[in-house]
Amino acid sequence: MIVTIDGVAASGKSSVASGVARALGVPFVSSGLLYRAATLLALEAGLSLEGAPALLAHLEANPLRLEPLAGGNRVWLGGRDLTDDLHSSRVDAGVSAVARLPPVREWVNAQLRLLPDPFVAEGRDMGTNVFPHADAKFYLTASPRVRAERRARERLEDVPAIEAALVERDRRDAGQSAPAPDARIIDTSALSLEGVIGAVLAGLPARTA
């Protein structure tokens, strides 16, 4: 059983995927962390974020591992846990450039497709490109202001600056962020986290829930 939860930046994908996965007793998979980790490695190595061949060679020489833990995914580079360094403004600003490189997308997708079913996967193109045969698909949205206010509770930046960065990232990610035609779209602007998790669980086919 595969459930996909895609959506725009900071729409609640990972919190909702985590809650749904916990309710179903399965792992959740946060695909964005692999794009973020690839970006962090490129920044640390001083590589261009647009140079696919050098970046891919670096990723192949430095294998990353996504650990889909129920309580929160982690990304490892050998024995180094990168997870806490993946949500910096520096990574936020660079990740869309890295994520639009086709060889990087293939590298991420190959890792995701090896994961053993069942799971809940969240990202941008889980229901379209990576798991088109998922049992249930959801797409989360919320107004930019609401998303920025939620993120501001996690970071020491002001709401307008966060909102501008989110809108810009949505624009750069638009190419891989269209909802699947068979996804259920949920506007979370006026919903609590529990409300969204409940709406996803209520939308699952009977044999999945």
Ligand X SMILES: Nc1ncnc2c1ncn2[C@@H]1O[C@H](COP(=O)(O)OP(=O)(O)O)[C@@H](O)[C@H]1O
Ligand Y SMILES: Nc1ccn([C@@H]2O[C@H](COP(=O)(O)OP(=O)(O)O)[C@@H](O)[C@H]2O)c(=O)n1
Identify residues 158-197 at the interface with ligand Y (CB under 6 A). Answer: 169, 173, 176
> Do residues 142 and 11 make contact, with C-beta atoms less than 8 angstroms apart?
yes
| C-alpha pair distances (Å), 32 with each of 62, 186, 194 | 18, 20, 22
Q: Is 101 in the site for ligand X (CB under 6 A)?
A: no
Q: Is 93 in the site for ligand X (CB under 6 A)?
A: no
Considering only residues 19, 94, 123, 144, which one is a binding residue for ligand Y as defined by CB under 6 A?
A: 123
Tokens 């497709």 -> residue: 113
Q: Is 96 in the site for ligand Y (CB under 6 A)?
A: yes
> Do residues 7 and 24 make contact, with C-beta atoms less than 8 angstroms apart?
no
Q: Is 84 in the site for ligand X (CB under 6 A)?
A: no
Adjacent-strand bridge partners of 137: 4
Minimum distance of ligand X from residue 154's CB (angstroms): 5
| C-alpha pair distances (Å), 155 with each of 41, 50, 152, 161, 190 | 22, 28, 5, 11, 22
Considering only residues 9, 55, 82, 186, which one is a binding residue for ligand Y as defined by CB under 6 A?
A: 9
**Which residues are near ligand Y by CB under 6 A?**
9-10, 13, 31-32, 35-36, 95-96, 99, 123-126, 169, 173, 176
Binding site, annotated residues = 7-15
Binding site, annotated residues for ATP = 7-15
